[in-house]
């Protein structure tokens, strides 16, 4: 079982979405850009969904929204071809607001030249680019240009693993090294964890608790502190000694 958020719980989705809207309002008042590192599958599409759902109350029409990820743009096309798979809430958004994947101010950049042109914008732009942990991809170019500006806001909507630039920024680094250059970080940083695709501790425990009897479990896909915390909760609640998967571990099933 995964354990990415084995030691914490997300904010409620309603509070998370409200926070995102507040961040956008503050960024507009500061006349800066908003950078959002996002993975191509899932996070990018959900962001566009919330932009559409709150099109009027967030005044989204005032922004220039740039999706700077060739892979994400292809995934968006797949989502857009299969509305029949959406739940009732999502279908309602499609009927009452602009299509999330065809927002009138959405610009999808394919070429490197188009991507570089975005960096001429110093305000009024929301830039969604890969990758989600800022360990590579086009987001690094936008960070290099925007992080020194005090008007910039960078929004993390997914988990930031140890050793990534995203993790360093979340932890408050004042300098990061990008493409061989030391970049001063003056931008505001926001972690909107409630949009993560990974279940939090409460959801993981609820899922595991549905098994009767409780089966043996090995915890994977999590850093040590998160796995240890989840293992402790599993033992306390279910009396099971969870194994922490490490290189060389063998399990017989």
Write the pLDDT tens digit of every residue in 55-74: 999 999 999 999 998 888 88
43 and 163 fall within a common domain: yes
75 and 149 fall within a common domain: yes
129 and 235 fall within a common domain: no
When the pLDDT of each residue in the chain is averaged and rounded to a whole number, the result is 90
What pLDDT is stored for residue 214 in this prediction? 94
| Mean pLDDT score, 83-90 | 85
Is residue 23 domain-resident?
no
Which has the higher per-residue pLDDT, 252 or 3? 3
| Mean pLDDT score, 190-202 | 85
What pLDDT is stored for residue 253 in this prediction? 79
Which has the higher per-residue pLDDT, 109 or 13? 109
| Mean pLDDT score, 108-114 | 88
Percent of the chain whose predicted confidence (pLDDT) is above 90: 56
Say what the pTM is. Answer: 0.85
What pLDDT is stored for residue 224 in this prediction? 92
Is residue 19 domain-resident?
no
Host domain of residue 71: 31-195
Looking up tokens 């409620």 gives 12
The residues, any chain, with a CB within 8 Å of residue 14's CB and separated by 6 or more, are none
Q: Are residues 157 and 196 in contact, defined by beta-carbon separation less than 8 angstroms?
A: yes
Inform me whether the pLDDT recorded for 24 exceeds 90: yes
| Mean pLDDT score, 232-238 | 96
What pLDDT is stored for residue 133 in this prediction? 86
- Sign of the alpha-carbon torsion through 116, 121, 126, 132: positive
Is residue 2 domain-resident?
no
Q: Looking only at Cα atoms, what is the longest distance across the chain?
A: 59
What pLDDT is stored for residue 42 in this prediction? 81
147 and 111 fall within a common domain: yes
Q: Are residues 18 and 55 in contact, defined by beta-carbon separation less than 8 angstroms?
A: no
Q: Are residues 93 and 46 in contact, defined by beta-carbon separation less than 8 angstroms?
A: no
205 and 113 fall within a common domain: no
128 and 184 fall within a common domain: yes
Number of folded domains in the chain?
2
Inform me whether the pLDDT recorded for 41 exceeds 90: no
Confidence of residue 134 (pLDDT cuts 50, 70, 90): confident
55 and 110 fall within a common domain: yes
What pLDDT is stored for residue 131 in this prediction? 86
Question: Which one, of 105, 137, 133, 134, lies nearest residue 121 by Cα?
Answer: 105
| Mean pLDDT score, 141-167 | 91
181 and 84 fall within a common domain: yes
């Amino acid at each position: 079982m995964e354990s990415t958020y084995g030691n914490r719980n997300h904010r409620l989705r309603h509070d998370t979405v409200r926070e995102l809207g507040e961040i956008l309002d503050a960024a507009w008042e500061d006349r800066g850009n908003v950078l959002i590192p996002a993975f191509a599958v899932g996070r990018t599409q959900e962001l566009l969904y919330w932009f559409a759902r709150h099109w009027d109350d967030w005044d989204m029409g005032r922004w220039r929204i740039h999706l700077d990820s060739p892979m994400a743009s292809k995934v968006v096309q797949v989502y857009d071809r299969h509305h029949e798979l959406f739940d009732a809430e999502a279908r309602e958004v499609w009927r009452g607001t602009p299509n999330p994947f065809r927002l009138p101010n959405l610009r999808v950049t394919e070429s490197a030249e188009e991507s570089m042109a975005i960096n001429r914008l110093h305000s009024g732009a929301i830039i969604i680019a890969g990758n989600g942990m800022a360990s590579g991809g086009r987001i690094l170019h936008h960070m290099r240009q925007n992080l020194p500006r005090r008007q910039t806001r960078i929004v993390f909507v997914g988990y930031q693993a140890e050793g990534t630039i995203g993790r360093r920024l979340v932890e408050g680094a004042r300098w990061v090294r990008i493409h061989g250059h030391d970049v001063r970080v003056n931008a505001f940083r926001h972690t909107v964890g409630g949009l993560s695709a990974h279940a939090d501790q409460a959801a993981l425990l609820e899922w595991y608790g549905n098994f009767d009897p409780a089966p043996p479990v090995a915890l994977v896909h999590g850093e040590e502190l998160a796995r240890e915390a989840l293992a402790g909760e599993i033992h306390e609640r279910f009396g099971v000694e969870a194994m922490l998967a490490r290189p060389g571990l063998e399990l017989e099933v």
